[in-house]
A and B are shown apart, each in its own frame.
Chain A
Amino acid sequence: MSDPSVLGTAVAEPDPPPAGGADAQERARSLASDAWHDLRRRPLFLISVALIAILLVLAAFPQLFTSADPNAGDLARSRQAPSGQAWFGYDLLGRDVYARTIYGTRVSIVVGVLATTFTVLLGGTLGMLAGYHGGWVDTLVSRLTDVVFGLPFVLGAIVILSSFREAIGEGAVGITALVVLTMAALSWPVSMRITRSAAITARNQDYVRAARALGAGPARVIWRHMLPNCLAPVLVYATIALGAFIGVEATLSFLGIGLRDPVVSWGVMISEARDYIRVAPHLLLFPAAFLAVTVLAFVMLGDAVRDAFDPKGR
């Protein structure tokens, strides 16, 4: 999970789906409804959606699942093994690992969702502009993308995070926002490239020419005509990237530069557990298992959606 940009190579592989039009008419179903029809029959899709639904409930209402306070420590029960009292045991400071794992869901998912949103918004906007305008705009934006893409992700993140570390203070919101923005600032190039290639394909389609001939301005052409047809490949990337970002958050926290106390996240828990893995493996095991299952759910969902939207698989 060290570098979400590698996903691009794997995700960008299938050609962008055909832009509606001819393909959809033959089947009398749009690409989206066709994909939906296909998806409902896939066990992988159903399993991942069920898992994600459970995780979202955990994130939204953690108090439904545990009555323990995730930050209440009691040194007398430091590193106690799992028992009937505390299902996942207690951590070094005697805090309930089960409660922390449940409460950690929210931060991990919020970080993943926000980082994905910013990445897709930033990369999508730039890619759409570059693809639509072409010419010097395209050259400029593409070179900028190359520059950011050349920056090694982990090293770039370490430099940014440690530079701004003191500036943001000790608040939970500030720490989380910095991590989210850093991840987005370093990973937008992949979504820019995906959107750009989709936009270049769409720009030369007849419906875009027709819209232009009818006098639609650039804003309207992009928003009403090109965007709906360029969305599919970016959304597929976003689903898989969401899982990867949750893993990246954990990696950064593990290195000690991402999230930190008072924020409760799986990455923070794993980072705290690493020095005690020999004496108290349960400290690592439970947050890591939750992390792996979450990433797994999003990657499976992305896989299923990609296969459904890929016209070659039909």
Chain B
Amino acid sequence: MGRYILRRLLQLVPVFIGTTFLIYLLVWALPGDPFAGKCGERACPDAYITRMREEFHLDENVVVQYLRYLGNLLQGDFGQTFSGTSVGELIAAAYPVTLRLAIVALLIEALIGVLAGVLTGLRSGGFLDNLVLVSTLFLISIPVFVTGYVLQTVLGLRLGLISPTVSADAGFGELIVPGFVLASLSMAYVARLTRTSIAENRRSDYVRTAVAKGLEPRRVVGVHLLRNSLIPVVTFLGVDLGSLMSGAIVTEGIFNIRGIGGLVFRSIALREGATVTGVVVLLVIVYLLMNLLVDVVYAVLDPRIRYV
């Protein structure tokens, strides 16, 4: 197991370098003046541009720039914005909020999705099954921002049940409705995936054996069936945490949550390349580590899978 994890970690390195280099190239090597509009209503003075280009090494080869960035990154330094703020601090302020939102969303989608999937997978063809099928179709078809605006208007402005925008410290309670909005699409996928998986495994030999042994239905479903059927769901959930965080940009915009989505959006508008690169690099790391974690969790859930 230890060797397997080590090998996987080594495999992550080229992917990490490739992805971060790609994003670095996109942000820094494309045409466009990074200092346009930086000095108010007039063009920036040449002296300022020369100094900044030197300070940020913009005249060097992009590969050299990237390697320097990577070197700093390995020491935990995300660099600075053009105005001298540390990118690390900006991210440290915004990141926990987005992480909280993504975790709330993940919990909601796992809870509702798996519950709906198990109930419909056990009794396919009934009223509940069709209800869940139709509602997942609707969740998949309605874009997240429409769900967001409708919930915000109805719950927040018409009924006054929630505050339409989230306050600066964004506690867990305030994030439930935004989390639900963010989770809505994935919730539908989790429900369908669980349903398919349960329906498939319900006819398998080990379930028949468990029933024949005289185990009570609760134990057959809870231990034998569920544990085997949840493997694809766990994969989905693990990989989804990364996409929830990068997809949170829309939800954050609607509910005025001060997370990394808004940070990236502002930074792109202001051409603050360092912030954009920093956030994306962080999301890539989360995505890669979650993938690794999922593979390790496999072995815990399914004793047939053994890593050498």
Contacts and interface: CB of A to CB of B under 8 A. Distances in A.
Interface in B113-160: 137-138, 140-146, 149, 153, 157
Given A159-B26, A300-B137, A288 B246 contact: no
B89 interface: no
Interface string A232-254: 00000000000100010011001
B265 A284 contact: no
Interface in A1-39: 1-3, 5-6, 9-10, 13
Contacts of B189: 6, 9-10
Contacts of A5: 243
Interface residues of A, number: 50
Contacts of B242: 152
B19 interface: yes
Contacts of B279: 155
Interface string B233-252: 00110011011011101100
Interface string A140-174: 00011011101111111011101110110000000
Interface stretch (A57-65, A73-81, A270-278): A270-278
Contacts of A46: none
A6 B232 CA distance: 13
Contacts of B142: 288, 292, 295
Contacts of A6: 185-186, 189, 236, 239-240, 243
A196 B73 CA distance: 35
A296 B27 CA distance: 36
Contacts of B240: 6
B293 to A, nearest CB: 15
B141 A3 contact: no
B184 to A, nearest CB: 10
B30 A163 contact: yes
B246 to A, nearest CB: 3
Contacts of A247: 141, 143
Contact of A312 (B200, B249, B269, B276): B200
Contacts of A167: 31
Interface string A281-300: 10010001001110110011
Contacts of A72: none
A127 B288 CA distance: 22
A9 B197 CA distance: 13
Interface centre among A158, A284, A293 (most CB of B within 10 A): A158
Interface in B1-41: 14-16, 18-19, 22-23, 26-27, 30-32
B211 to A, nearest CB: 22
Interface in A163-192: 163-164, 166-167
B91 interface: no
A153 B243 contact: yes
A145 to B, nearest CB: 10
A154 B15 CA distance: 19
B250 A254 contact: yes
A141 to B, nearest CB: 13
A54 interface: no
Given A152-B243, A270-B145, A158 B268 contact: yes
A143 B15 contact: yes
A295 B264 CA distance: 28
A255 interface: yes
Contacts of A291: 143, 146
B149 A155 contact: no
A9 B145 contact: no
Interface string A258-273: 0000000000001000
B107 interface: no
B146 A153 contact: no
7 contacts: A151-B23, A152-B247, A153-B246, A158-B264, A162-B268, A255-B249, A278-B157
Interface of A: 1-3, 5-6, 9-10, 13, 143-144, 146-148, 150-156, 158-160, 162-164, 166-167, 243, 247, 250-251, 254-255, 270, 274, 277-278, 281, 284, 288, 291-293, 295-296, 299-300, 303, 312
Interface of B: 14-16, 18-19, 22-23, 26-27, 30-32, 137-138, 140-146, 149, 153, 157, 185-186, 189, 192-193, 196, 200, 232, 235-236, 239-240, 242-243, 245-247, 249-250, 253, 264-265, 268-269, 276, 279-280, 283-284, 287-288
For the complex of A and B, 4 pairs with smallest distance between CB atoms: A152-B246, A2-B247, A147-B18, A296-B141
